[in-house]
Chain A
Amino acid sequence: MSSSFTDRLLGKVRLGGLLALAAPLLAVVFAGVVTSIILALTGNPPLETLRLLLDYGAQSRTMVNIINLATTYYISALAVAIGFRMNLFNIGVDGQYRLAALVAAAVGGALVLPAPLHVGVTILVAVAVGGLWASIAGLLKVTRGVSEVISTIMLNAIATGLGAWLLTTDRLAVAVSGSNNIGTKPIPPSGQFPGFALIPGTQAKVFGFVVVAALLGVAYYVLFNRTRFGFDMRATGRSESAAVASGVSVKKMVLITMILSGAAAGLVGMPQLLGASYSYSLDFPTGLGFTGIAIALLGRNTPVGIAIGALLWSYLDNSSDILDLEGIPKEIVIIMQGTIVLSVIIAYELVHRYRMAAEQRRVSRQLSAESPSPPGSGPNSGPNFGPDPASDSASEEGAKA
């Protein structure tokens, strides 16, 4: 009768209080236990491995890398979460950001503009390309009823092909000097997004884009929780039938949401492009869109939850580098990430069920405390067969039996 498991999976159901914190913490601890068991089974010392991860992750250079990768993950997860809020599974964030980054890199490399404008135009191009690419899936869903899951997966493959076709020396690419790699023409300094040294003890700079990511998180929160548009979106995600009855045009919402999700996806490649590589080359990071799905689930589509999830994910990714050096397979971290996602989902589900039952109990208890009479015994349920309103006419009509 109430929310479906999918709704809860996608975080459309609120969890309040300490329980909301306890669930993910327990899940992470549980994932640690599972990982330890696997480590022990494969003949690696679990405690030693965890200590290695902790130590390496606490080094200042690693911390910069963690924040930088988390920035990318965060934007990717937000892009996925925008769709999730409306029950749209945008699996295509991956294709959207790669295509967007490629085109934006080409435009940024070709432009000559003053600094802030140059950055702005490059970002705008990325947002537009991401949004456009996602709008294909949105249009297909709205006009032809094609599931966005299918179409975005297909569009990922098409984006890969399109990217490979564009990234040749005949078109957008130039040879990268000193290697056999090819990439877009490097973006000149006026188009680069300056980083800043945040962590003491290292020369490595944190992406300046981390600020944009944080602003994006705030915008996401405001959009969903404070605006009419966000209300319509949440209503549609919670109950499409109720949204339709309340006058929401679901088709319009689907299209807009898909475009918004794609536009955010367009930004996923920007921290890397504008803060580190300045060019889209064959070794530009891939698969960030899929990581975003896992992190959006982990963070239950809330901006803060996603931030924590992104940091955790990035932490595990970065600190795993040390394991190889110690002869421990770094894939153990992937097992850990997978276990975390699964156990977080299960933990939230358990907490949700507990809370639903508790809330209903609380409400009925509070109400029965207010009025001593049990439900149903209101003022009207006295003598049951009083004067009948319609008995004046033809009361014998029903006698035929």
Chain B
Amino acid sequence: MEEAAISTSTSSAGTAEPGTEPAVQLEGITKRFPGVVANRDIRLSVRRGHVHAIVGENGAGKSTLMKILYGMQRPDEGEIRVNGAPVHFRTPADAIAAGIGMVHQHFMLADNLTVLENIILGSEPRRFGAGIDFAEARRRIKEISDAYGLGVTPDALVEDLGVGARQRVEILKVLYRGARILILDEPTAVLVPQEVDELFDNLRGLVREGLTIIFISHKLDEVLSVADAITVIRRGTTVASVLPKDVTARRLAELMVGSELPSPETRESTVTSDVALSVHGLTVRGDAGRPIVDGVSFDIHKGEVLGIAGVEGNGQAELVEAIMGMRPAEGVITLGGRDISAWSTLRRREGGIGYIPEDRHRHGLLLDAPLWENRILGHQTRKPNVKGPWIDRAGARADTQRIVEAYDVRTPGIDVIAAALSGGNQQKLIVGREMSGDPVVLIASHPTRGVDVGAQAAIWDHLRSARAAGLAVLLISADLDELIGLSDSLKVILRGRMVADVDPADVTPERLGSAMTGAGGDRDTPAPEQLGPAVTGAGEEA
């Protein structure tokens, strides 16, 4: 019901002054990939001269949508209108011709060329039909740079530029090709806070000059500070269009994640006093000897879910790989009182550590192998998969069938290859596999990333019932509500160090979010109680 009410506000937010067509309008865009619907009935109206933000969680379908708008993918259904006229993009070149330009999250610049050379690459102005007219190019670049206050020096080498300057070069490159509508894909992901501020100043300058900007992000505070209008995508479809003045970050977060969240109040603590996994002084070094994980210590008790919150890339992946024995590390890890620091990955798995990897395609599955062979993966020394040195096909197949039924893996059979399943069903298979063989500890890295709502709820249920049965879980997630909802205790990781302990019963995603960025206080003096009233909303997140 409420969704309908929000959608009504779409029209008010999207309605322009009489006579002005929206710069971009999407109607009922649907895109299916085998086994999964990436976009479903997307509706979007972007007003000219606006910074229009599109927000959503990882895997919500933002990137697919932008690829459709930029001509890299073609929609199965629906209509795209640019400045009121229906368009059909076959390639990005069509989109560029229609005045749409894209600034990718990862820069596409040649380091050893100058700014000017990078900008004109592929669309060089010609002189007498042959030679490149550098003077003309320099003049135009200067003109664009001055008009929008980008401050780009044409003759600097790109390799000498900082990240912010490179991004401005990317923007100028797009403008140089005549774009009037810019798509920026998570432009702040690579920037430090001051650079973010500069970028936002640039963006405001661009829209003042009449350009339109579509800004993709999942950082709510940035969106609220720069956007003129916001559209929220969840599970592949647009769920709301709102104006920043009408919403709070909290409300946006709710719109992004929906209401299918576990509710912490309904559970009783199952934490026992037995320590299942203990990590002490764990340090993982990078290639240069610099610690990526720096002296991390924690205990997980039987029946406890310990959540690790942190902005991605702060050492979570390395921490997990060190615990799994996939990455050399200093420090002591004990499993049920036994020191397993020197154990191989296989022995740790045999010892009772289950592992739901962050990237199921790279670490969790053999995509080309049938499901029953995937059941064996990681359990290839244990019953019912093997008998001595032989693979027990019958046993493995029967147990795969059991997992498929018990974990509701939607598949026509256990002989289809794993790649044919949707992400959610692949993940349910992995969860089922890792829960079998009576694990003592489960390392769950982003267990519900990129899975559909039904699968997410099912996976949460499985994690909760396993916890009630005495399983110790290390939960790493980017979904703060998932972390808060499932965890019995929470730790915040920042630059490889545990900087805060948080009580999940008394924290909001916003406060947790600011603690993750170090904005919650002095990170050198971590104290369990530091996340008190001193934490000021989420305004500092960057």
Report which A residues bind B (CB closer than 8 A).
1-3, 7, 12-14, 225-232, 234-235, 238-239, 241-242, 244-249, 356-357, 359-364, 366-367, 370-371, 374-376, 378-381, 383-390, 393-401
B362's closest neighbor in chain A, by CB? A241
Contacts of B509 in A (CB 8 A): 390
Interface residues of B in 367-390 (CB under 8 A from A): 367-369, 373, 376-381, 386, 389-390
B46, CB-defined interface residue at 8 Å = no
A362-B481 Cα distance, complex, nearest whole Å: 36
Contacts of B263 in A (CB 8 A): 389
- Of B116-124, B293-301, B416-424, B464-472, the one contacting chain A is B416-424
Report which B residues bind A (CB closer than 8 A).
1-3, 34-37, 40, 220-221, 224-225, 235-236, 239, 244, 247-251, 253-255, 258-265, 324, 326, 344-350, 355, 357, 361-369, 373, 376-381, 386, 389-391, 393, 410-412, 416-417, 419-422, 452-454, 457, 481, 484-485, 506-511, 535-539
Contacts of B239 in A (CB 8 A): 384
Contacting pair B40 A245 (CB below 8 A): no
B396's closest neighbor in chain A, by CB? A231
A384-B536 Cα distance, complex, nearest whole Å: 28
B524 nearest CB across to chain A (Å): 24
> Which of B3, B261, B386 contacts A383, CB < 8 Å?
B3
Given contacts A245-B345, A380-B453, A389-B485, 7 further A-B contacts (CB under 8 A): A247-B348, A375-B36, A381-B453, A384-B2, A389-B263, A393-B507, A398-B220
Q: List 13 A-B contacts (CB under 8 A).
A: A3-B367, A238-B367, A249-B345, A359-B416, A375-B36, A375-B452, A381-B260, A390-B509, A394-B511, A395-B250, A398-B537, A400-B537, A400-B538
A9-B298 Cα distance, complex, nearest whole Å: 46
Q: A385-B2, A389-B481 are in contact. Are A400 and B391 (CB under 8 A)?
A: no
A370-B410 Cα distance, complex, nearest whole Å: 10
Contacts of A390 in B (CB 8 A): 261, 264, 481, 484-485, 508-509
Contacting pair B37 A383 (CB below 8 A): no
Q: A242-B364, A398-B537, A401-B225 are in contact. Are A227 and B34 (CB under 8 A)?
A: no
Closest 8 CB pairs of A and B: A378-B454, A247-B346, A360-B34, A398-B250, A246-B378, A398-B249, A400-B537, A245-B363
Contacting pair A398 B416 (CB below 8 A): no
Contacts of A393 in B (CB 8 A): 506-508
> Which of B1, B261, B362 contacts A389, CB < 8 Å?
B261
A3's closest neighbor in chain B, by CB? B368
> Which of B251, B378, B386, B508 contacts A245, CB < 8 Å?
B378
Q: A390-B264, A398-B510 are in contact. Are A379 and B454 (CB under 8 A)?
A: yes
> Which of B244, B391, B511, B537 contacts A231, CB < 8 Å?
B391
Contacting pair A238 B368 (CB below 8 A): yes
Q: A228-B381, A394-B508 are in contact. Are A401 and B264 (CB under 8 A)?
A: no
Q: A3-B368, A244-B326, A247-B344 are in contact. Are A362 and B412 (CB under 8 A)?
A: yes
